[in-house]
Chains A and B, each alone.
Chain A
Amino acid sequence: MTTEKKQTGGSVLFNVLQQHGVEHVFGYPGGAIMPIYDALYDSDVQHFLCRHEQGAAFSAVGYARASGKVGVCLATSGPGATNLITGLADALADSIPIVAITGQVPTSAMGSDAFQEIDVFGLSLACTKHSFQVTNVNDLPKVLHKAFAIALEGRQGPVLVDIPKDVQLAEVTNSLEDFSQLRNKVKLPPANVGSAIALLSKAKKPILYVGGGVGMANAIDELRAFSETTKIPSVSTLKGLGAIDPDDENYLGMLGMHGTKASNIAVQECDLLIAVGARFDDRVTGKLNEFAPHAKIIHFDIDTAEINKRRAADAAILGDLKINLPALAIPLSIADWQQECQKMKQDNAWRYDHPGENIFAPAVLKEISDKMPKNACVTTDVGQHQMWAAQHMLFNDPSNFLTSGGMGTMGFGIPAAIGAQVSRPTDCIIAVSGDGSFMMNVQELSTIKRFQLPVKILLIDNAKLGMVRQWQDLFFNGRLSETDLSDNPDFIMLATAFDIKAKQITKKSEVSAAVEEMLEHDGPYLLQVKIDAQDNVWPLVPPNTANDQMMESI
């Protein structure tokens, strides 16, 4: 494509976004990005004004994770750019494709400690997959196309493009070629599945260890077909939840620090662990040199650097899961092992017969999970509520459970739900939050109000930083340092101030009706659920401990 009309850097940005199918962006204007916001005025791209740049970044992450598209966020220079950093780090840790655009002071002022100048290009090195700073407007179209290509190729991730103000204002003098098909080639050797098939054929007690890479590779069908053919008992990471059908009789649940007892014991006993798009994260492995101690390892991944990083692989299969998983799908004779795993699952099933009148958060989450539409998308913040949601809610696709896995970023849930709702306007979006996390990006209630987004917020309130309090009780002799939040604001009044209908419940008997009211409400809704401040997340594998030595109560 070529065009005769002269365009500025700002208008080029929106033309390229539209070439990549971008309909929605999240951002916050400021001095050094004003030419881009001026170009936005004439663009068909819809902008969602967030109330903090961190909210914009997390909304872009939620948008990308819920839709499979690239999320786009905009911020000005200096503090606008630094406020994006946490969101970019979150996207890098969870391999989420984001393109972040930052304004920069004019090139003539760069390096002079100008007003609102920060070296965001330098800051980006540790928190992006790649980054660019554009100093010639004629380079801008190609750089933007490359940013999209890099965000999506191989292991996905965030890309930042820093654009000085004079470049945004400058006219493009060369033709606007269409680089939308630009792709860097991911150089991977052909997968050799022979050694993996040999390991698989000999295994008596194999386990399928499913990670977030399965959803990212769009290989859910291939994974389920593999699981159906081999009938290997499976476990999931936090980010892999939803990849395996939760009703599969051979599925044992989440593994790791707050994993199910059946999952952790099965992994510790297995003789072959097949890691699929998973990276042996420390929250999964517990004490690394005692993790799956009897197991050979087959490791499927798109990222060469993950192979042998934390655990040596006996067979590594690099490349596209959609191609490589079917190559290993062979029937196995492991009936005894399947039955043993199913029995462990049955013997250690969750119980919801919590004594007393206080509300038991896992039971609330199970009730929502049972009653929400099948295509509902749940986001979480970080803490006890996050682990309870992962344990007690069931998802049929990873794009229906958005949680900050690698970075563990409090404040993720509400803006991520906004992004998810924008990308899936007719689906039920539920943000599960805690009273600590909720206050970290509470300003985004204003974004919900402005765009009348029907996000449902389940606020699990123990007036504590609950997970830190739990660890202080268990591992720091009960010395409760700075975890009391009993001076929280009145959350009902707060939500009402943003025109969000809100209700508080304190007793078990109120749960069912309140959950139904929330799910049936035609608009945004906040349900505040007061729970006992002493409730803990169980099981728990203590730090630097093998996964079969989990605590199940105090």
Chain B
Amino acid sequence: MNQYQLTIKADDKQVVLERILQVTRYRGFLIDGINAKVNTGTHIGTIILMVRSERSITLLVDQINKLIDIKEVKIDDVVAQ
């Protein structure tokens, strides 16, 4: 099972974190860790999500990118194979 770390930038809007978590679970990824904070000046949240799955990470990146309030999703690195 591959492990990945995503850094997600999102507008600080209602339930954006729940949306990310729902998509992550539904698309077949387990969450190993999460760190989220909001810049109160820019109203942009940064979510660092550690996930693992046998599926391609691009499937999850594409689905998170579809969420309306998402500004950017980056794959940081492959933590382990």
Q: Give the interface of A toward B (CB within 8 A).
A: 121-122, 125-126, 129-133, 150, 184, 303-305, 307-309
Contacts and interface: CB of A to CB of B under 8 A. Distances in A.
Interface stretch (B1-9, B31-39, B43-51, B59-67): B59-67
Interface in B25-81: 26, 56, 58-59, 62-63, 65-68
Contacts of B68: 129-130, 150, 184
A7 B65 CA distance: 37
Given A150-B68, A305-B63, A133 B18 contact: no
Given A308-B58, A309-B59, A125 B15 contact: yes
A126 B15 CA distance: 13
Contacts of A309: 59, 62
Given A133-B14, A309-B59, A125 B65 contact: no
Contacts of B59: 305, 309
Contacts of A132: 14
Given A125-B19, A126-B22, A305 B14 contact: no
A133 B13 CA distance: 11
Interchain residue pairs A-B with the least CB separation, the first 8: A305-B62, A130-B68, A125-B22, A305-B63, A305-B66, A304-B62, A125-B19, A150-B68
Interface of B: 14-15, 18-19, 22, 26, 56, 58-59, 62-63, 65-68
Nearest to A184: B68
18 contacts: A121-B14, A122-B15, A122-B18, A125-B15, A125-B18, A125-B22, A126-B22, A126-B26, A129-B68, A130-B67, A132-B14, A133-B14, A150-B68, A304-B62, A304-B66, A307-B62, A308-B56, A308-B58
B33 to A, nearest CB: 22
A299 to B, nearest CB: 13
B15 A303 contact: no
Contacts of B65: 304-305
| Most chain A beta carbons < 10 A, residue from B15, B26, B56 | B15
Nearest to A150: B68
Contacts of B22: 125-126
A280 B25 CA distance: 22
B66 A303 contact: yes
Given A122-B15, A132-B14, 20 more contacts: A121-B14, A121-B15, A122-B18, A125-B18, A125-B19, A126-B26, A130-B67, A131-B15, A133-B14, A150-B68, A304-B62, A304-B65, A304-B66, A305-B62, A305-B63, A305-B65, A305-B66, A308-B56, A308-B58, A309-B62
Nearest to B23: A125
Contacts, number: 32
A127 B56 CA distance: 24
A150 B67 CA distance: 11
| Most chain B beta carbons < 10 A, residue from A129, A130, A307 | A130
A131 B18 CA distance: 12
A184 B67 CA distance: 12
B70 to A, nearest CB: 11
A311 to B, nearest CB: 13
Contacts of A125: 15, 18-19, 22
Nearest to A154: B66
B77 to A, nearest CB: 21
B65 to A, nearest CB: 7
B24 to A, nearest CB: 12
Contacts of B58: 308
A131 B67 CA distance: 11
A308 B60 CA distance: 12
A421 to B, nearest CB: 33
A142 to B, nearest CB: 13
A307 to B, nearest CB: 8
A485 to B, nearest CB: 34
Contacts of B14: 121, 132-133
A143 to B, nearest CB: 10
A419 to B, nearest CB: 26
Contacts of B19: 125
A131 B68 CA distance: 10
A130 B66 CA distance: 10
Nearest to B25: A126
Nearest to A134: B14
A529 B75 CA distance: 58
Nearest to A310: B59
| Most chain A beta carbons < 10 A, residue from B26, B56, B65, B68 | B68
| Most chain A beta carbons < 10 A, residue from B14, B26, B56 | B14
Contacts of B26: 126
A131 B26 CA distance: 18
A131 B58 CA distance: 25
